[in-house]
Amino acid sequence: MLLEESREAVVVLDAEGRVIAASRRARQSLEGVREGEQLPPELLRGERALVVPYSVDGRTEQLVYLSQVGDLAAYEELRSGFTAAVSHELRTPLARLLSLLELALLPGENVAELVEGARREVEQIRELIDEVLFLSELESGARVVSLGATPIMPVLREVVSDLDERAARAGVTLSAEGDADAAIEVRPRMLRVVAQNLAENALRYAGPATTARLLVERAPEQVVLSIADDGAGVSETDLPRLFERFYRTDRSRASRGTGLGLAIVKHVVTSAGGTVEARGGPGRGLEVRCCFPTR
């Protein structure tokens, strides 16, 4: 478990140089890292690898830490870009908040209405900060995988119940159904985050007089958690970018979303070894599928 959940690219080799085990990051980020096969020799060259030999039960093995050239520079670029994006996203609600407060000082204005508008802007800022902090927690190594299986349907029913009033205001009929016995090795908190963000995304963008259905299905070697709505949908060119941080389609830019919900979904699912994808098109609604491996 320690090796699997390591944030570093780490592998264990036997005496012949074959991979016995590898961290998830090593498998996902390095070509040719497969259990039972030889580690590509180019990964051991130069200063990219730190090799720690040891013996266990009379066997000689090696713990290999594999650094990526440019990791630090790439991290710094990502960090600075993310900071700039957060700053940009905060400017809009802060500017609206300041404008509302200035209007409230003018004679003849509806102060109660302006204060209510200011409260909504503060809620928008709070939501953005909460989601940024949660992403930071994930990237700092927060544990996503659980040591036992978590049943999915009870979490989905709880999310639907909690969002019932909000769904009614949005004019969206939200439901949950599927395999009652399906379970995945994901912490309950993380599973709830995924389900809630999927549902909230549908409530924001599906549009009134639509339906959104959370569905759980078991397939060979995986469990699929999806949400599908029959709303306006998005263009096919937008589909691959829906999981990018702060990305919004033209239609959704006027919404109160933070642009982080689906990015968080992708981060949790991929950290659990799964995959995400979006399907749909204009007038065909949107379906988001999260595929979790079964062990």
Residue range 26-70, pLDDT digits in tens: 887 777 888 888 888 877 765 567 888 888 778 888 888 876 544
Average pLDDT, the chain: 82
Q: Which residue has the tokens 């159904």?
A: 177
226 and 289 in one domain?
Answer: yes
Least confident span in 44-48, 162-166, 177-181, 209-213: 44-48
| Domain contains 4 | no
102 and 53 in one domain?
Answer: no
**Most confident option among 73-87, 120-134, 199-213, 240-254:** 199-213
Q: Are strands 10-13 and 19-22 parallel, antiparallel or unpaired?
A: antiparallel
Give the pLDDT score at 39: 85
| Domain contains 5 | no
174 and 285 in one domain?
Answer: yes
Give the pLDDT score at 34: 84
Give the CATH number, domain containing residue 202. 3.30.565.10
- Is the model's pLDDT at 157 over the cut of 90? yes
250 and 218 in one domain?
Answer: yes
Give the pLDDT score at 92: 73
275 and 202 in one domain?
Answer: yes
Give the pLDDT score at 271: 86
244 and 116 in one domain?
Answer: no
- Is the model's pLDDT at 197 over the cut of 60? yes
Q: How far is CA 274 from CA 88, 143, 184, 265, 277, in A?
A: 31, 15, 11, 11, 10
**What SS3 state is found at 191?**
helix
Average pLDDT over residues 221-240: 90
Rg of the chain over Cα atoms, rounded to whole angstroms, equals: 23
- Is the model's pLDDT at 75 over the cut of 60? no
113 and 203 in one domain?
Answer: no
Band (pLDDT 50/70/90 cuts) for residue 142 is low
| Number of folded domains that form the chain | 3
212 and 87 in one domain?
Answer: no
| Domain contains 2 | no
288 and 225 in one domain?
Answer: yes
Domain boundary among 82, 108, 139: 139
The region that residue 102 occupies, defined by phi over 0 for left and psi between -120 and 50 for alpha, beta otherwise, is alpha
- Tokens representing 128 are 């953005």
pLDDT in tens, 246-257: 776 654 444 555
- Is the model's pLDDT at 259 over the cut of 90? no
Give the pLDDT score at 62: 87
| Domain contains 207 | yes
| Domain contains 226 | yes
| Domain contains 18 | yes
Looking at this protein, which amino acid is placed at residue 72? L
Helix axes 153-162, 188-205, angle to 10 degrees: 40
- Is the model's pLDDT at 5 over the cut of 70? no
| Domain contains 3 | no
Domain boundary among 139, 165, 197: 139
How far out from the chain centre does Cα 98 lie? 32
- Of residues 204 and 31, more confidence is placed in 204
Band (pLDDT 50/70/90 cuts) for residue 212 is very high
Distance CA 289, CA 178 (A): 14
Least confident span in 63-67, 192-196, 209-213: 63-67
| Domain contains 1 | no
Band (pLDDT 50/70/90 cuts) for residue 8 is confident
229 and 111 in one domain?
Answer: no
**Residue range of the domain that includes 81:** 71-139
- Of residues 51 and 229, more confidence is placed in 229
- Of residues 70 and 192, more confidence is placed in 192
97 and 156 in one domain?
Answer: no
289 and 149 in one domain?
Answer: yes
